[in-house]
Homo-oligomer: A and B are copies of this chain.
Amino acid sequence: MKQLFYNGMIVTGKKGEILKNGYLIVNNGKIEKVGLDFEFKDTDEFTEKVHLGGKWVLPGLINTHGHIGSCLLRGNGDDLPLQEWLQSKMWPMEAKFTEKTVKAGASLAIIEMLKSGTTTFLEMYHLHLDIIGQLVEDSGIRSVISRGMIGHCSIEEQEKKLREACDLSKRLRSMAGGRITTMLAPHAPYTCPPEFLKSVIYEAKKKQLPIHIHLSETEQEVNEHIQKYGKRPVVHLAELGMFDVHTLIAHGVHLDDEELKLLAHFGVAVSHNPTSNLKLGSGIADVPSMLNKNILVSIGTDSAASNNNLDMFQEMRMTALIHKGNKQDPTVVNSETALLMATHNGGRALAIDDIGAIETDKDADFIIVDSSSPHLQPSEHLLSHLVYSASGSDVEQVYVKGKCLVRNKECLTMDEEKIIYEANRAFKRLFYS
């Protein structure tokens, strides 16, 4: 199975590099060669030849934090204070979730992500994760799945959750031809007692699993943490030994300079979720300082209940814009950096070496953008347009491991009409029950 894609504008994912009239050879799902000005020879043997007609090719986008299991709650309560939103809108609904609800929401989220150019997503959820694994297997997308664990419960229940998470990890890693990896996901320092975190860290070391955790999303949780433990959350986690394993934190909105230094020192990765942090009134993470300290920053949408879409183009754009205004400095987080965060850094944050760039020996996870729309003209400055003007609806084709999952803006592996019907039916059942 050898595929050729030629005559395109290839954004390789290396800082700022664009191959005009570039080509790409994919061999059994791996990128074999990337180059300029392809010339046909008699000896060429390709199963598929795609003339790109000048379209833009870039690495598949990587969404490093979300909860697709709750996607049906999109728009179910906006503009509310966090606790009121959780208590009156989110938790009562989630308490009624069944397998069908999670399947309907997760299917909706996956087709939305695929159609808008996301080829890999991280999922932290606590319900019916085998179903999500099955959807990943069937849809062809790539995922890091983690069972979110809240430790506010008895030690027996904590142990049960952790055992579930480990068992699930084992099952999921054998599925989908290696497209699923896993992490252990204690929910947050404010919901997990130190002893429980220690057990999680112990298992993570033993099983060589990375850790994913919400960290310092709101000012209030940080203040309460300091009151309770007499230290800031990052110091607390470092002392517990968490950062001896690869750790990806979500949010990191309220971190002081010492905490940033610790994250840099231990090579902790960050999932920056700018839209969700704005929408819930959490604040604006200090990404420019993180970048200055060489912290690995990737991008996540968080859930559709707090975003409210899963469009990584819009998230890149927000990332490139928000810090300029917040710091009153237009030079921070330029377009190259934002694209890097959503691709190469995403792969590293998820501890998956094979993705995040269009280069030899990487897996062939890439997307093709239809560059013919008015908002992408004049077409000269494509890097700028991809970050500052494009949106997910400009994505025309999506490939994961060389397999075409979206063609001409239609998903080939999922039944969109059925998914939308089921999502609305499941939501109505929830809402009016």
Contacts and interface: CB of A to CB of B under 8 A. Distances in A.
Contact of A283 (B325, B385, B389): B325
Given A308-B384, A384-B308, A282 B378 contact: no
Contact of A75 (B284, B314, B334, B388): B388
B427 A378 contact: yes
B334 A78 contact: yes
A261 interface: no
Given A74-B381, A431-B380, A375 B325 contact: no
A330 B79 contact: yes
A304 B376 CA distance: 10
Contact of A311 (B277, B320, B329, B375): B375
A20 interface: no
A392 B330 CA distance: 26
Chain A interface size range: 35 or more
Interface string A372-393: 1111011111001100110111
A275 interface: yes
Interface stretch (A3-11, A169-177, A418-426): A418-426
A394 B322 CA distance: 24
Contact of A335 (B78, B325, B329, B381): B78
Given A80-B331, A384-B308, A278 B75 contact: no
Given A307-B388, A377-B420, A377-B427, 15 more contacts: A75-B384, A78-B384, A78-B388, A80-B330, A112-B374, A219-B328, A274-B325, A279-B321, A281-B331, A282-B328, A308-B384, A309-B375, A374-B416, A378-B424, A391-B393
Contact of A281 (B75, B116, B328): B328
A416 B82 CA distance: 45
Contacts of A245: none
A395 to B, nearest CB: 11
Contacts of A327: 281
Contact of A391 (B81, B314, B318, B329): B314
Contact of A374 (B81, B391, B419): B419
Contacts of A334: 78-79
Closest 6 interchain pairs by CB? A75-B381, A278-B325, A75-B384, A378-B427, A281-B330, A393-B393
Interface string A177-198: 0000000000000000000000
19 contacts: A74-B377, A74-B378, A74-B389, A75-B381, A76-B381, A79-B331, A79-B335, A116-B375, A278-B322, A279-B321, A282-B328, A304-B389, A307-B388, A308-B389, A309-B388, A309-B389, A311-B375, A314-B391, A377-B423
A75 B387 CA distance: 10
A85 interface: yes
B72 A378 contact: yes
A324 interface: yes
A327 B278 CA distance: 9
Contacts of A275: 321
A416 B377 CA distance: 12
A281 B281 CA distance: 21
Contacts of A423: 377-378
B378 A330 contact: no
Interface string A280-308: 11111000000000000000000010011
A324 B280 contact: yes
A25 interface: no
